[in-house]
Amino acid sequence: MRKYLFEKANWFIINHKVKILSETEYSMRVGVGKYEAVVKYQNHKFIWLCNCKHGSTNKTCSHILAAMTYLTLKKCL
């Protein structure tokens, strides 16, 4: 993966641009900047989607990385 994806994801977390919007039993919506990342648990797999240009085509984007990191850190704190 490209280094700039991780740098941009780190920028979102440092500047507090990440927040949980909604949570259900099998999915969670996370606001990252002006975009939304959605994580779904389906058929024993996690599916990450984002409504940005790259995330909507099921590619990894910095918004998804920021949401993943935020959810991981949020549960550890």
User: How confident is the model over 18-67, as pLDDT tens digits?
Assistant: 999 999 999 999 999 999 999 999 999 999 999 998 887 888 899 999 99
| 24 DSSP 8-state letter | -
Number of folded domains that form the chain: 1
Report pLDDT for 74: 67
Backbone angles phi, psi at 24, to 5 degrees: -120, -175
**C-alpha distance from residue 74 to each of 8, 10, 13, 42, 77 (Å):** 19, 14, 11, 22, 6
For 38, the domain range is 3-76
